[in-house]
Amino acid sequence: MHSFTIVFISVLLLTLFVQVWLSTRHINHIRAHQNKVPEKFADQISLADHRKAADYTCAKTRAGYPAIFLHATILLIFTLGGGLDALNSFWTEWTGNPIFRGMALIISAFLIMGLAEIPLSYYRTFVIEEQYGFNKMTQGMFFTDLIKQALLMFMLGAPLLFGILWLMDKMGENWWLYAWAAWITFNLFLLAIFPTWIAPLFNKFTPLEDAALKIRIEKLLKKCGFRSSGLFVMDGSRRSNHGNAYFTGFGKTKRIVFFDTLLSRLEPSEIEAVLAHELGHFKHRHVIKRIIASFLMSLAFFWLLGYLMNQHWFYEGLGVTVTAVPETAMALLLFFLVMPVFTFLFHPISSIYSRKHEFEADAYAAQNSSANDLIHALVKLYQDNAATLTPDPLHSTFYDSHPPAALRVAHLETQTQTQLG
């Protein structure tokens, strides 16, 4: 057996073990604490709601087990099982052009993976979300969304893929720098068009009509020095009972979006506090920092791909036939298939970085609105979204971009005390 094959299988098995172990820990920890509401939340959340959140979270976590093994199975079939070789041979018979053959190979591989995911997504939506009263989607809407997403990915992704493969083939040893520049340009383009061209394909956005709330929000925006292209309400209730708010776009396309479900459940002062938290991300330049971090990470990945593309052991160790001149499309596809396996154990780094930003945004909200209002809003959102108040700490460190409820509320209470002091 090839030495890199041994490394690949070992890391894959380790990743599988850690994922299953973390999920099992998470379920056991939640079950151990499901019969008592944490003291900080006892006045606002009933034991029945606490148990519902425990049941809902455990159901979602258990539904993740098949996904874990499905991803590993598909990966092994594609690599050591000869699946990518078979796909490549199939498309070789249809076209001799290496770029178009490479595009067909990559698109068909991702299509197969997407089709395999549909039953799991259907189960999450129409069994778990339905059971706990969150799903509002019809089957027609579910499949229509899938078709829209597939068409959108093809329309946007195919030109990008063609450009990347062309650069890999034509630009010599430093192709990865040109490809990285193309990737950055593409992502900035997506950020610019998402609010006005992409998001409206899936949801309806209407200007905020509540005059009193609008005045209140505009005062906060002026105070914080934030300019946007508008305040919008999204019909999130068409698909789900979950609520949220977010910023989207950048530059002149920035807009603030509230889920209609959020507006229906929170008081005006609580909505202001939630928005102040989002403004905290803007004030601390978190979005820009994350974009820069992702671009630097992508530069490292493109450089690594540029190295691996010329290493025969990379193909041979993953069960792919290697030619005298390795194919760029196969290298690109292999890289993106196996990279999540080798980077999974680094997830906590991203989680810690994101949580730092959340704490900073909470502190900003406490300074510019009310920490107590934000606490009340968060507790309502935890309750309405059936988010567990007692996640397993290690599972949360790996997967959660936001701090656990208890830590976040304790941090805001400290801000409250500072304000009173």
Do residues 170 and 219 lie in contact, with contact meaning Cβ atoms separated by under 8 Å?
no
Chain centroid, CA 380 distance in Å: 23
- Using the CB atoms, write b or e for 180-200: b if 16+ within 10 Å: bebbeebeeeebeeebeeebe
- Give me the catalytic one of 272, 362, 384, 392: 362
Residue 139 burial class via C-beta count within 10 angstroms: exposed 0-12, middle 13-18, buried 19 and up: exposed
Residue 40 burial class via C-beta count within 10 angstroms: exposed 0-12, middle 13-18, buried 19 and up: middle
Among 407, 343, 401, 398, CA closest to 378: 407
Do residues 366 and 283 lie in contact, with contact meaning Cβ atoms separated by under 8 Å?
no
Separation of alpha carbons 240 and 295, rounded Å: 32
Separation of alpha carbons 361 and 367, rounded Å: 10
384 is catalytic: no
- Give me the catalytic one of 270, 278, 327, 358: 278
Q: Is 269 helix (H, G, I), strand (E, B) or coil?
A: helix
93 is catalytic: no
Q: Is 234 helix (H, G, I), strand (E, B) or coil?
A: strand
- Reported for 143-151, long-range contacts at CB under 8 A and 24+ positions apart, including other chains, are 145/202, 146/118, 148/201, 148/202, 150/111, 150/114
Enzyme catalytic residues: 278, 362
